[in-house]
Each structure stands twice: as C-alpha cells, then as structure tokens.
Structure 1
C-alpha cells in the first residue's frame, strides 16, 4: 500500500474484518515513519494522502473496478484459490490477478480460473517499501498481456522487476534456501553456530543463516524446506537437526525466541536452542569441528551455485544477470562480489564442479552436481559471456 500511495495509485485495502483492517492501517502508517522522522513528509500530509487515495472494505464486491488485484493472504492453496474464484466473478475480465506468494505454484493457483492467463506471481520482499526487487513469476498459461502489464506496474512503483518461470520456490526462495540451508549440515558436524554467522557477515551478507531464519520464521522455512524435499528428493532432504529445531516451537522473532532470544532489548543466543543442538551432537557422538571462515562460505556457496545451474537447466530462469540482480536486490548478496554466478565464474566453474564431486562422495546426493555444470566444467564455459 505504501508504494501504491507514494507513486500515484488509488488503492483499496480489503480484509476479513474491521479489526483486521485497522491493524492493516496501523501497519501502513508505520511504513511512513521514516520519511516523517526525516521531515520529507508530515503526519498531516500522510493523513491527507490516505484519505484521498485509500479506501478500505470487508466486501470483495468493492474490488469490481480494480485494474490490478494483489492478494497476500496466508500461504495456503485452498484459501487463496477460494478468494480468486470469488474475485473472478466480481472483477472485470481484463483485470490482472497478482498473488504475492513466496513458494506456492502459480500454475496450480490459476487452475481454478476460467482464464488462467490473467494470473501472475508478484513476489515482494520485506520490507516491501524498501526492498527494491519484485520477482514476477509466470505460470504455464500466464498471458503476454498480463506479463507486460505486471512489468510496467513494477517499474511504476520503482521496483527492479525480474521475470522467472513457475517452479517450487521460483528463483529467489530456492536460491536463498540452497545458500543458507547448508548451515544445518555444518551444525550437525559440530561447527560453532556463531562462527557460521560471522563467516557470512565477513563475506558481506547483511546477516547470517540463524539471524535470517529468525527474521523470516523457522516454521515458514521448515515448510518451504519440506516443499523442496517433496519436489527434489534426496538433494533437499530435511536434516534431522532441523526437524528437532522445528519441534521446539521457537520460530524466531514472532515467538520472541528462535536461534536467538528476543525477550530483552538486544538479542542474545537462545540457550534452549543451543541445548537442543548440544543434545543432538552428544547423542550422535559428534565432537566440535574447526573450519575456517573461507571453508564455511565455500561449502555453502558451492551448493548455491549448483542449485542456480539446476534452475537454468529446468528453465526457471536463463539470464545470469537477472539471477544475480535478484540476489543482490532481494537478499542483500554483496554487490561487490558480483552476484552468485559472477562469483562462480571468477572462482572457476571447474573448481566449483570439482568441489561438488568431492562433497558428494563425502555427504551424498545433497551435493550432486548438475549435468549442466558438469558440461560447463568440461568445456571451460562460464555463466556469463565475456
């Protein structure tokens, strides 16, 4: 809503109850706190902007004149499909239907529509008013008109639109999962969690795997991980330690505790979560393991590069520039590293492939090299054309 109001659109906020709407209004006001603090906007100016350009409703019927409908309800296929079926009978035939989902397949969501061509994925990144990326996901039957309208909309709200095809986790969620998800294996080997966090910070990322997991929600990451496990099998098998972590009920900031304890002003490591890890290591007879920061980062990057190659091979995306931009603008991957694929080229594709072969022998299918990457290594190819 912040973006719509800032860039000249009229908006309608729908929710299931007046109470939910008031929570939404309060959340919208918070997104303008920074410009008000800096003096580029006043409280009066915000009130006037919202009064003139924002309407609220608990009736879907009030959306009948909308050009674009963006739905951001719970990540539940049935709930989303039920809403879209109702909206199809209300909205104009030329209205674009955009779903803000981070993992649910667009093609399946659109399957309940008479015209699935009007459905597209619009994946915003939190906080949406500040994060520059808009991941646009085409379902199998998304029309060219729907796509062009969505890209134009993304640019109108000053986003960097990156277009990808439908698939589990699309591009960014799957790429980020491959990068950060390797941390669980390191913890199972006895590597100090604090060292893993610091290694990623020193590499240039805004936060480490544990901090990010607490921010996005350990429960959400768990369910997304299970979706990947179902889709890709052994390569994405959920680690036994992560099963135990999920069972703690500590899901991060929203539960006031996750990998860190947020009960005080400054987060500190959560001793209860540390106890879960220590108990697991003791039961498995695992002793503390020393790794350098470079070894930690290389291990996690090699898997991320491999997953990027799988997504190119599967047709999820085929433009290395867009893939790298998506990680920089959507996740904070350090720009001076050039992005994951530019980094891979500098590292050497053969070095990446050889690293994967070695890791596969030691850890199994999780590190199975993509055939595209194998071919690139054999032919001396790179992701970018130089």
Structure 2
C-alpha cells in the first residue's frame, strides 16, 4: 500500500545542520507536526534555538504574528532515537552527502517506520535508487532536494527513483504546494537537473581561472549578464569546503586540475563567507565581497604550477563557455528524460540558481538564439577546447529542422 496524496500529516527530519533547520521550518510553517532527530543532542538543541530566533526575527519584521511564531515552534518536537519516528507519514533525511551513511539510515528507517511511510533523502546529487535498494519499500523512496536556505528558497527538486510509485510522487507534489514551493520532478542521475548542469558550468569557470581569468572577472561577466551571483561568489556563500570535504570522503577527485584552486583555498582555511574569506574577503559582519589580491596571486601560482600558458579572457568568452555548457548539458538531460520538458529545466534555473528572469532560463535563452546558431557555436568550442563540447544529439536534430527545445516537449 502506498501513501495517499492527502495523508502527510506528521513528518520527521533527520539532521540538525543548515539544511535540516531550513526543512524543519518549511514543514512547520506549512502546518505539519515535525519530529526532529540528530545523533548529537546538543547540536539539535542549538538548532532549535536558531529556529526560534528565526521565527522571532520574522515576527519583529512583521512577516508573521506572535501567535504564528509560537504555533510553528510548538509543532517542532526534538526526539531521541529512530524508534520515536515509528508513526510519522514522511521522513526526510538531511545528513552529510555520503552514500554509505544515508544507506545506513534508510536501512534502519525501513525496519522502524510504519509500512505506509514515505522515506525521502535531501541528497543534492547521490543515487536515489542506490538508497532505495537497501529498503524493502523502494516504491516509497524518493529524493526531496531542497535548496539552501530551505525555508527561503522556492525550488524543490522531487527526484523519482526507478520504482517510486506515482502516488508517492503525487504526495510529494502536494507537500511542495503546501510548503509554497516551486516543485519540479527530476529523474535519477548524478546531480539530477540543477546540479548536473551546474557541474559543467562551474567546470568551465574553474578552467578559465587556470587559463587566464580571475574570480572577480568571471563573476563580473555572469552578473553583468544578469545572474544573481557568479560561480565563485556562489561558492563563497554555500561554503567552498563542502565539495572539498566530499572529495576527501569519497577518496577521489582531489587531483583534478579544475579543483586545485579550491583545494588551496581550503588548505588555508578560506572556506567562504562563513570564514570571512574564500575567493573574496569579507569584513566583520558584512556580506560585501571584496576582491582579494592574495587570491589572485594564488590563482596565478596554481595556474603556472600546472603548466598553463595564461592569456587574457574577456567577458564574451566567459559568457559563451558558461552559458553553452549549461545548454548542452540541459539538452542531454532533456533527451534522456531526466527532465520532462525544457520548461522544467528553466524553472529549476530561474528558481534555484539565480538565472536572470528576463532571459527566461537557459533553454529559452538558447531557443531565442536559434539552435542552428547554438550548434555552430558549440562546434567552434569543440575545435578549440576538445570533444566534450560536441553538440548534444538533440541539439543537432532540432537544429537540422530549425525547431526549438520547446517543440521537443510537445513530442514527449
């Protein structure tokens, strides 16, 4: 028996970090009772204090009433042990991005929770099917990828596994509506829609640092195009150390030339805005990013140590490589059925990644450029920088008949 769409009344969240706090607030603010579990009781108590402070701040700002603040906080119930979650309708795991850790939690949840409960992971990139495989209820397992800070960001990627039941997806979509989220269903692959595309975009930005650009130049070009922030400013906000620690735990990826600047910054304790220094420097109590000559010198040093012959890279090339990396990967995602439509891809990028609203999203932007022109520009990049720039098969097909990504949606 699978969960009905109207039946999520009691939820639970595992993890009291930044993501866990935001998810708990999203659920409580939507009227759900939330059991909150973390294996560190003092961290859980501290996190609940942060939530109380957030609700008090919202009350003082006039966003919610004193009664609403009290009601929301009362719905959040710290608990000890997974056995306390036996009767919840939905549990959302929000622990560190480590597959074995998550699988261990899901094994235990499967044995402790009632048979109708939905088990969700907040993973941003890991294999939902590999998580579902350790349970006896893979049809009731899915991804609920919230974006940080989860109580503010509107986007929710709902990730369907190979065996996720339609009623479970329906329940997740209804929950998204209840929380006021913009929900998009994504297929299961590394990074889903948003982060899979982001990987190609960020890789180009990182490679351009090695080839001749500096962080403020890359960010300046993309912010000039209309992005809320460029990739290096974004990494400072979310924490440069998150990917660095994930690579360390996985035991792979640290020798990739593209991440050597990140590695050096992390070795210096420059984890981003929270450390008051990352790609940029931040004054005490300020979120204003200041260009740091020390970082420019480090970029130059790493680049030269890796044997790059540096050159001037202008805003036009920065935009071309970053935007077309997004579009080419988006086309592959669309063709593979990871996204149901180009509109879903645009929704993800407009609501989760700060893509400029007036451009309509990366796929609409590409449609407006004309896919024959996009194909030609990708082929030119492939000649300069290698085979990974070859146009996606879908781009070639649509360009041949002068059609748009939106036309492919109609064929699906």
TM-score normalised by structure 2 residue count: 0.85
Higher mean alpha-carbon deviation, 307-316 vs 185-194, is at 185-194
Aligned residue in 2 for 1:158: 180
Higher mean alpha-carbon deviation, 186-195 vs 139-148, is at 186-195
The 5 A counterparts of 1:127-146 are 127-146=149-168
Separation in 2, partners of 1:30, 1:199:
37
Q: Does structure 1 conserve the Cα–Cα contact (< 8 Å) formed by 2:260 and 2:302?
A: no
Q: Provide the secondary structure at the position in 2 that maps to 1:181.
A: helix
Q: Does structure 1 conserve the Cα–Cα contact (< 8 Å) formed by 2:86 and 2:112?
A: yes
TM-aligned CA deviation for residue 44 of structure 1 = 6.5
Q: Does structure 1 conserve the Cα–Cα contact (< 8 Å) formed by 2:31 and 2:72?
A: no
Instruction: Summarize the Cα distance change of 1:90–1:372 in structure 2 as closer, same or farther, 3 Å threshold.
Output: same
Alignment counterpart, residue 58 of structure 2, candidates 22, 35, 53: 35
Separation in 1, partners of 2:114, 2:381:
54
Q: Does structure 1 conserve the Cα–Cα contact (< 8 Å) formed by 2:203 and 2:258?
A: no
Aligned residue in 1 for 2:121: 99
Q: Provide the secondary structure at the position in 1 that maps to 2:119.
A: strand
Alignment counterpart, residue 261 of structure 1, candidates 270, 281, 289: 281
TM-aligned CA deviation for residue 263 of structure 1 = 5.4
**RMSD after superposition:** 2.5
TM-aligned CA deviation for residue 104 of structure 1 = 0.8
- Name the count of aligned residue pairs: 378
> Does residue 1:26 correspond to 2:24, yes or no?
no
Separation in 2, partners of 1:156, 1:112:
30
> Does residue 1:125 correspond to 2:147, yes or no?
yes
> Does residue 1:79 correspond to 2:68, yes or no?
no
Instruction: Summarize the Cα distance change of 1:378–1:58 in structure 2 as closer, same or farther, 3 Å threshold.
Output: same
Aligned residue in 2 for 1:305: 327
Q: Does structure 2 conserve the Cα–Cα contact (< 8 Å) formed by 1:226 and 1:238?
A: no
Separation in 2, partners of 1:192, 1:244:
11
Separation in 2, partners of 1:199, 1:271:
19
Q: Does structure 2 conserve the Cα–Cα contact (< 8 Å) formed by 1:376 and 1:382?
A: yes
Aligned residue in 2 for 1:109: 131
Q: Does structure 2 conserve the Cα–Cα contact (< 8 Å) formed by 1:103 and 1:224?
A: no
Q: Does structure 1 conserve the Cα–Cα contact (< 8 Å) formed by 2:211 and 2:309?
A: yes
Aligned residue in 1 for 2:377: 355
Instruction: Summarize the Cα distance change of 1:274–1:43 in structure 2 as closer, same or farther, 3 Å threshold.
Output: farther
TM-score normalised by structure 1 residue count: 0.90
Instruction: Summarize the Cα distance change of 1:13–1:344 in structure 2 as closer, same or farther, 3 Å threshold.
Output: same
Alignment counterpart, residue 192 of structure 2, candidates 160, 170, 182: 170
> Does residue 1:46 correspond to 2:46, yes or no?
no
Q: Does structure 2 conserve the Cα–Cα contact (< 8 Å) formed by 1:192 and 1:288?
A: no
Q: Does structure 1 conserve the Cα–Cα contact (< 8 Å) formed by 2:56 and 2:69?
A: no
TM-aligned CA deviation for residue 366 of structure 1 = 2.9
TM-aligned CA deviation for residue 94 of structure 1 = 0.6
TM-aligned CA deviation for residue 302 of structure 1 = 1.0
Q: Does structure 2 conserve the Cα–Cα contact (< 8 Å) formed by 1:225 and 1:238?
A: no
Alignment counterpart, residue 371 of structure 1, candidates 393, 396, 400: 393
Instruction: Summarize the Cα distance change of 1:45–1:349 in structure 2 as closer, same or farther, 3 Å threshold.
Output: closer
Q: Provide the secondary structure at the position in 2 that maps to 1:168.
A: coil
Separation in 1, partners of 2:144, 2:304:
45
Q: Provide the secondary structure at the position in 2 that maps to 1:11.
A: strand
Q: Provide the secondary structure at the position in 2 that maps to 1:32.
A: helix
Instruction: Summarize the Cα distance change of 1:158–1:245 in structure 2 as closer, same or farther, 3 Å threshold.
Output: closer
TM-aligned CA deviation for residue 66 of structure 1 = 0.3
Q: Does structure 2 conserve the Cα–Cα contact (< 8 Å) formed by 1:245 and 1:276?
A: no
> Does residue 1:245 correspond to 2:262, yes or no?
yes
Aligned residue in 2 for 1:149: 171
Q: Provide the secondary structure at the position in 1 that maps to 2:35.
A: strand
Instruction: Summarize the Cα distance change of 1:181–1:304 in structure 2 as closer, same or farther, 3 Å threshold.
Output: same
Q: Provide the secondary structure at the position in 2 that maps to 1:55.
A: strand
5+ residue gaps, structure 1, are 231-235
